Structure 1
Amino acid sequence: MNVLEVNNLKVWDSNSGKEIIHDSSFGLKEGSCLAIVGESGSGKSVTCKAIMRLNRPTLNQSGEILFKGENISELSRKEMRKKRGKNLCMIMQNGMSAFDPSCVVGVHLRETLAEHFKWSKSEIELRMTRAMESVMLKNPRDIMNKYPHQLSGGMLQRVMIALAIVLEPDMILADEPTTALDTISQYEVIDQFIQLRKRMGCSMIFVSHDLGVVRKIADEVMVMKDGEIIERGKTEDIFSEAQHEYTKYLVSTRLALSDHFKKVMGEGLLIAEGR
């Protein structure tokens, strides 16, 4: 059963008329992870934001987006806001952009959870503290009292993962969550996503240009080029038996990233073990 079905999605710029996503259709099986790969400008992030209805106002979209059988394209802004977080949780590429810079991190967490649950402030803090500790964040209460700019990119990503643990969404969309991180933070955040899937069994769309990461986390891979889906299949089939010439090119030219990922994972493991 598919938790998400995207049918004939089109996204275009209302100013220029340029079409960015061309008639895309795909599904996401319940409990599985679909990776969307492609070079910059291929339409990966725009596709994810279209599902969440978070693209900038000048981008228009049409098509059907069925989430658990409901066409969320037809929901009002208020109804869609209720879906975000509890049902559909997006973890952004840049952790800083997900938080209000004028407030401490704890304010954002409390407001988000208060939107979906009738918990007291102390209950929210307790649940967030436990979740933050589970993603290896030390002194959670201190972190919640800091402004976003006082935390590293890796810490902000893990705060967002901790929030997802508390929200227990049906689906997580992770838009290049390791791009802005240093090597060790990449290792830690990737590992947290793997653990998140094991713990929650939720469905996930994982956008990445790093095929090493994709091979590690995804069940299926969807390849995009210039706003079109050109190939889709099981992860190992895409890596070993790609059909489209662009996919073959992408895999062959990105094998160095797989080697980089192995190096990242190896270095991270050594550091985690204190060697």
Structure 2
Amino acid sequence: MKLLDVRNLKIAFRQDGQLLPAVKGVSFDVMKGETVALVGESGSGKSVTALSTVSLLPESAEIEGSIKYDGREMVGATWKELRRTRGNDISFIFQEPMTSLNPLHTLEKQLRESIQLHQGLEGQALHDKIVELLDKVGIPDPESRLKSYPHQLSGGQRQRVMIAMALANGPDLLIADEPTTALDVTIQAQILDLLADLIRSEGMSLLFITHDLSIVRKFADRVNVMKDGEIVEAGRTDELFANPRHPYTRKLLSAEATGKPLPVPAGAQEIASTKDLRIWFPIERGLLRKTVGHIKAVNAASFSVREGETVGIVGESGSGKTTLALAVMRLISSQGPVVFLGDDIQGWKSKQLRGLRRDMQIVFQDPYGSLSPRMTCEEIIAEGLAVHGVEPGRNKREMVAEIMTEVGLNPEMMHRYPHEFSGGQRQRIAIARAMILRPRLVVLDEPTSALDMTVQVQIVDLLRRLQEKYKLAYLFISHDLKVVRALSHKVLVMKSGDVVEQGDVDQVFDAPKTDYTKALMAAAFEIKAADGAAM
């Protein structure tokens, strides 16, 4: 039985008196109890298609075609009909729970609103329903979590809360829009297993939207591949993976960071190192702010990174990866030596450190969040030059044009703003901003996790080229172990603030010593190694 039936769907957005097509005649269906995947790169029309099912698109959108849910037409449906369907019959799980959950409301309040709206429960019955939902999605000791706020939960727990909200009213169709992209590999595996169990036990259908085909292979019954607003190929998962017909599908399937960086030359200069570095944050209470304990973010971390070398730092959210890198850059306080270019800079003041900032730069995970929307590409890239100065005999625009070309951007686009670039282009701008100062050490904090697989490969190749040309030292923080292996020479594995294992990347990946590292590797490569069997 067809639960969702989409036929010849066309969506365009009005902008400056023009209609810009986003979806061009898409047709697909979802049967009861089935998992169907929509895959493709950013901008292919996946999310727009999903949001149109219950008219969640902005007023500037114009929709043609037919979207039938359980035989009821959703295109042109009344507000009353849409309200009954949203969250009751069709529920959504979005990519980033921190932006989807209200930071000012407790978990209990956020779950209560949806249940009261659709079921009218009150009092103890409502309370029991909320606890039951949190327990169902694997929140430990759910009763004690009711008064918690989103920021007090880990990324995986926040995503579980989003799933609980989606399940609150027993929907028949669950639409999951990139629900695991921002999660660590072990948490990603847990969320996927949870969704699979819930679909079986609740008898739901799932429309799964992602750019990661390795997840689809394990998870979906059927796949629809989207490109430029059209479905270019569709079929059963096992058949499509075994015999992809469209060139774009073959491109997506082959998009994976591979290869290795060039070996580090013998005698390469040590750029940065730490010895038993400790980062503890005091817990202060009372009127006099007395220290009653510590949050032990990093315990006794020791490592070094040389010229032309990449040290990968891996571990789950909250393990201390980013905290360790920020301490090396002296952006947060720590205890223990931090040696940079031969000097222990641990006790240096801000004025002393200012001269070193040119030599240490950082590229963040989300390029859209780290780029000012009010500055042009040229202004963003040249921002560091205003502080550290322009090379003698050069002008600022000339240097910006040169680095833009080097990172694969057209210098003629330097007058544009961040929203006028794709995700991959924005990340190139962030890399250009760091590289224009010709640093010695670059911290790369999840620089590929928000990007499509094909764009990930391009960014990894770019980082390799820049490292080879300028002998850069990288600290590469990531939860994508395939990318870590392709880019790193050495790897540190962190858990709860401790470095539980470190060594050459091949040694750690091929023969992990600790149970935690083994679990990370299993979670990272189980999805890829799946045989494509339907759920």
- Compute the TM-score of the two structures, normalised by the length of structure 2: 0.48
In the aligned structure 2, how far is the partner of 1:175 from the partner of 1:111? 22
Q: Which position in structure 1 is the counterpart of 2:219?
A: 217
**CA displacement at 1:108 relative to structure 2:** 1.6
Where in structure 2 are the equivalents of 1:18-97 lying within 5 Å? 18-97=20-99
Q: Identify the residue that residue 188 of structure 1 maps to in structure 2.
A: 190
SS across alignment from 1:5: strand
Output the amino acid matched with 2:141.
N
Residues in 1 aligned to 2:524 and 2:209: alpha-carbon distance in whole angstroms: 22
Aligned identity (percent) is 37
Q: How far apart are residue 212 of structure 1 and its match?
A: 1.6
In 2, Cα distance between equivalents of 1:127 and 1:108: 13
Instruction: Quote the Cα distance in structure 2 between the aligned partners of 1:63 and 1:179.
Output: 31
For residue 151 of structure 2, what is the aligned residue in structure 1?
A: 149
1:218 deviates by 0.4
SS in 2 for 1:55: coil
Q: What's 1:3 paired with?
A: 3
Equivalent positions of 1:73-222 (< 5 A) are 73-222=75-224
Task: Answer with 84-93 or 131-140: which moved more.
Answer: 131-140
Task: Label 1:12 to 1:133 Cα distance change in 2 as closer, same or farther (>3 A).
Answer: same
Amino acid in structure 2 at the alignment position of 1:266:
A
216 and 11 in structure 1: CA distance in 2 versus 1, 3 angstrom threshold: same
2:126 maps to a residue whose letter is: I
Secondary structure of the structure 2 residue equivalent to 1:39: coil
Distance 1:168 1:268, change over 3 A: farther
Alpha-carbon distance between aligned partners in 2 of 1:263 and 1:140, rounded to the nearest angstrom:
26
Matches within 5 A, 1:230-269: 230-254=232-256, 266-267=522-523
Q: What TM-score, normalized to structure 1?
A: 0.90
* Contact 1:128–1:163, Cα closer than 8 Å, also in 2: no
* Matched pairs, number: 270
8 Å CA contact 1:72–1:80 kept in 2: the answer is yes
Paired with 1:39 and 1:266, the residues of 2 have a C-alpha distance of 26
Deviation of residue 263 (structure 1)?
7.9
Q: Which aligned runs of 4 or more in structure 1 are off by greater than 6 angstroms?
A: 255-259
Deviations 1:38-76 (A, max 9, x none): 111111111111112212332222221100000012222
Aligned-partner Cα distance in 1 for 2:111–2:24: 36
2:12 aligned residue: 12
Structure having the larger proportion of residues in helix:
1
Native 8 Å contact 2:32 2:204 kept in 1: yes
Distance 1:263 1:226 in 2: 38
Maintained 8 Å contact 2:119/2:169: no
The CA distance in 1 between the partners of 2:7 and 2:30, in whole Å, is 12
In the alignment, the residues of structure 1 paired with residue 164 and residue 191 of structure 2 have an alpha-carbon distance, to the nearest angstrom, of 11
Cα separation, partners in 2 of 1:64 and 1:265, compared to 1, 3 Å: farther
Runs of 5+ in structure 1 lacking a partner?
Answer: 271-275
Q: Deviations along 1:75-128, whole A, 9 cap, x unmatched? A: 222321221111001111111232222222211211100111132232122122
On the 8 A contact 2:108/2:130 being kept in 1, the answer is no
Q: Which amino acid aligns with 2:162?
A: M
C-alpha distance in structure 1 between counterparts of 2:177 and 2:19, whole Å = 25
Q: For residue 72 of structure 2, what is the amino acid of its counterpart?
A: E
Aligned AA (1:232):
A
Residue of structure 2 in register with 1:273 after alignment: none
Aligned-pair Cα RMSD in Å: 2.5
CA–CA separation in structure 1 for the residues paired with 2:249 and 2:520: 24
Q: Distance in 2 between matches of 1:226 and 1:248?
A: 16
What one-letter code is carried by the residue in structure 1 that aligns with 2:217? R
Contact map agreement 2:44 2:229 (CA 8 A) in 1:
yes
**Structure with bigger gyration radius:** 2
